Amino acid sequence: MLSFQDLLPYLQQGAGRNRPGSKLLHKFYGKSILHRDEIEQVFGDAYPKYLDKDRPRELPEHKKYRKEVYENVFRGFKSRVISALDYIRQADDFDVQWPTTDIQEVDSLQTYTGKGFSAEGDFVEWFFSNVKSDYVDDPNAVLLLLPVEQPLSDAEYPRPQAMIIPCQDVWMFRRGKFAVLVAPEKTMLPGDTPDEPTGNVLYFLDHDSYTIARQTGLSTNQNGQRIADWQILGMENLYDLEGNLQGQLFNPPRHYCSTMPARKIGLKRIKKTPKGEEYYESLIADALPHIRLGQRNQSDIQVETNFHVASKEWRRSTSKCKQPGCTGGVIHIRDDVKGTKSGEPGAIIDVRECPTCKGTGFHDTGSGLNIMYVDASDGTTPGDLRNVPSGDPGGFIKRPIESLKTFVEEFKRNCEEAYTTIDMQFIRKTPYDESGASKRYDRQEMLRTLVVNGVHIVDLMSFGYECIDAQRFGASGRLGEQLPEVLAPVRLDLENAELTREELNNAKDKKYDPTLVQAYEKKMLLYTTGEQSDEYRRYVLRTQCDPYLDVTEEMKAYLLGVAFRNPDSPENRAKIERIYLSLDFDGLVADALREDADFWQKSLTEQYNEIVRRGKALVGPQTVGLAATGGAGGGAFPTIDPLSLKPPVDVQQIEQTQQKQFN
């Protein structure tokens, strides 16, 4: 049970916007925030600090250019991983199965965690809307289940709420033992504005009990120390018979959970202390080094590409700059004849760039910015005429393309390794020239990763249901009666239409079991036409109702002929009707859809009965037995002579082949 001594240090130091000292914080508090901030920086839009490094021989304008043109090409990496977690919920074997109970429906756990549980909807919807992203962004955040508001009477059930407490608000966390969490809500203090309340709300929990401390005031004593006033759940004043306050009694409420109703949401635990303090890393932590390297290479690619597109220009110049005082592109500013500034007459006191040639030292009518001039003014021809040099009058300095190619290759490798490190390479854009075996391998790697993460996420969800059930029904002694079973998915659909088409063709070519072929055909129809299309629903109905689903049309005709040769009997007539039902199945369904717009809304039994009825009406009475085989009284089929098989010719007996040839 919580004691007031557990709360007191945090109440003394955790007032307002203050944070308690490091001794009151868990060991991995700062490390958890750094990890969260690292992920945010890597996938953010701003130019990251780790890229703000000087490259060898890099000019200041190039460094500035990097910042101005920076685009985070890895921004979609994290969202792809988070979206991949949706496969867990979309799996056909993920389910929340509820037991039967005699508790009134309006008070049941299933109703409470239903559509009205949160603004997002039911508990499952809230869980995947909130936990899914924080599971990747902030693995040291805490999933908390707690009744924030207490029931007004004993006749009411508590109403637990689900919250995600970010790592910076997790002051202390020892798994299953003790936790101090800062609530997302704030209280109004004297002097606060309604838009910016500053009072803290603290949650204290241990294995058996919990309490909520709400700050109601903040003042400063004579010694300059800040003193906070708190309203604490479970704190009772004790009075004597005359009504005088004698003291206070702290009796925190019980939460009735089997363990503390708070858990960190991360899966990959890196460190743990003997006291139960934990540090988790994100699912994508191992990919961060490769992403940072990729961002560096991408930044270098942008600069290197700019060098190739806007390479340095050179021009031949046949005359020097004619600006008075210009020498080699600079103008020397000299002191006056009295040496007023330097003490030496005519001494150089300043050097300035020539405004005419812009520091080049050559005469040119164009811009001198970023242009290299080649001196061609010294050569003369006979007669002291200027020698006009041969070749181009100017051009651009070419840079080797190999450096750019190297950056591009390294960038591609960084991208691939970032996904491969976390077994998520399948969610990248699959190259068309990649083999089917490679695609299947990548899919299996991702499947295993998602199954492992799916089991953990489902375990967190089950933990949430257990805590809500215990807090709501534990006091009444009906703990666990309504607890649902959350099934962890193992059949995750990671395919698309192209992969399904390949596997369908492969299954047919290798003559796999018809049941497996039908599964691929069903999935292919789902991708092509949609779940609500007539084609898809007709195919599903056929797999459920066709009595000769795996039999070819030729074999059905043969079976029908055999059935007509059999003696007449109710069983034989039923068999004939079943064969006709299989042969005419698609047409019968088409007739039903044309005449009954609500056909798909009927139950499976009603749909089957309707098709059978239409099949009987279409076929009508049939003649079977001797009459049908051309016997006494004639019939619909001619008499079939008994078949006799002759032995094959033995090629070693020359007499047989010669006799056959001459005959």
Residue 265 confidence class, pLDDT cut points 50, 70, 90:
very high
CA dihedral 440, 446, 448, 452 (to 10 degrees): -170
Domain span at 210:
1-42+139-281
Please report where in the chains the tokens 């003193």 appear, as a residue.
227
499 pLDDT tier (thresholds 50, 70, 90) = low
Q: What are phi and psi of 75, to 5 degrees?
A: -60, -35
- If asked whether residues 163 and 231 sit together in one domain, one would say yes
The reported pLDDT for the residue numbered 165 is: 96
Asked if 254 and 347 sit in the same domain, the reply is: no
* 374/393 Cα distance (integer angstroms): 10
Confirm whether 364 is domain-assigned. Answer: yes
pLDDT value for 79: 84
324 and 233 together in one domain: no
- Residues 483-503, mean pLDDT to the nearest whole number: 69
Residue 466 has pLDDT above 90, yes or no: yes
Shared domain check, 335 and 213: no
> What confidence tier does 257 reach under pLDDT thresholds 50, 70, 90?
very high
Model pLDDT, residue 498 = 59
Residue 11 lies in a domain: yes
- Residues 148 and 236 both lie in one domain: yes
Among 236, 260, 281, which residue terminates a domain?
A: 281
Res 463: pLDDT? 95
Structure tokens at 503: 């596997």
- Range 333-337 average pLDDT: 82
Residues 153 and 246 in one domain: yes
Same domain, 269 and 327: no
What pLDDT score does 655 carry?
56
CB 9 within 8 A of CB 29: no
Angle at the Cα of 621 from the Cα atoms of 618 and 622, rounded to 5 degrees? 105
Asked if residue 423 is part of any domain, the answer here is no
The reply to whether 656 falls in a domain is no
Q: Does the pLDDT at position 390 exceed 60?
A: no
Q: 651: burial class by Cβ within 10 Å (0-12, 13-18, 19+)?
A: exposed
pLDDT tens for 101-112 read: 878 888 899 999
Same-domain check for residues 264 and 338: no
Q: Is residue 605 part of a domain?
A: yes
pLDDT tens for 556-567 read 888 888 888 888
pLDDT digits (tens, 9 = 90+) for 128-182: 999 988 999 999 999 999 999 888 888 889 999 999 999 999 999 999 999 999 9
Q: What is the mean pLDDT of residues 586-608?
A: 90
- The number of domains in the chain is 3
Q: Are residues 265 and 329 in the same domain?
A: no
Cβ–Cβ under 8 Å, residues 375 and 321: no
Residue ending a domain, choose from 356, 380, 396:
396
For residue 364, the model assigns a pLDDT of 62
Q: Comparing 420 with 64, which gets the higher pLDDT?
A: 64
pLDDT higher than threshold 90 for residue 451: no
Bridge partners (DSSP) of residue 238 are 247
Residue 357 domain-assigned?
yes
Residue 67 lies in a domain: no
Residue 457 lies in a domain: no
User: What SS3 class is residue 178?
Assistant: strand
- Residue 370 clears pLDDT 70, i.e. is over it: no
> What pLDDT does residue 125 have?
93
Q: Are 323 and 182 in the same domain?
A: no
Q: Are residues 392 and 250 in the same domain?
A: no
Query: What is the predicted pLDDT for the residue at 561?
Result: 85
Any idea which residue has 């089917």 for tokens? 436
pLDDT surpassing 70 at residue 635: no
Label residue 359 left, alpha or beta by phi (over 0 means left) and psi (-120 to 50 means alpha): left
Return the pLDDT at 637. 47
Is the predicted pLDDT of residue 233 greater than 60, yes or no? yes
Domain boundary among 370, 396, 422: 396
* Residue pLDDT, tens place only, 310-321: 556 666 666 778
Quote the pLDDT of residue 558. 86
| pLDDT tens-digit map of 391-433 | 555 555 666 667 767 777 877 777 777 777 665 655 555 444 4
Q: What pLDDT was estimated at residue 620?
A: 64
More confident residue, 540 or 346: 540
Tell me, rounded to whole angstroms, the distance of Cα 556 from its chain centroid. Answer: 49
Residues 15 and 156 in one domain: yes
**Locus of tokens 């998602």:** 450
Residues 6+ apart with CB under 8 A from 136: 39, 78, 81, 82, 85, 282, 283, 284
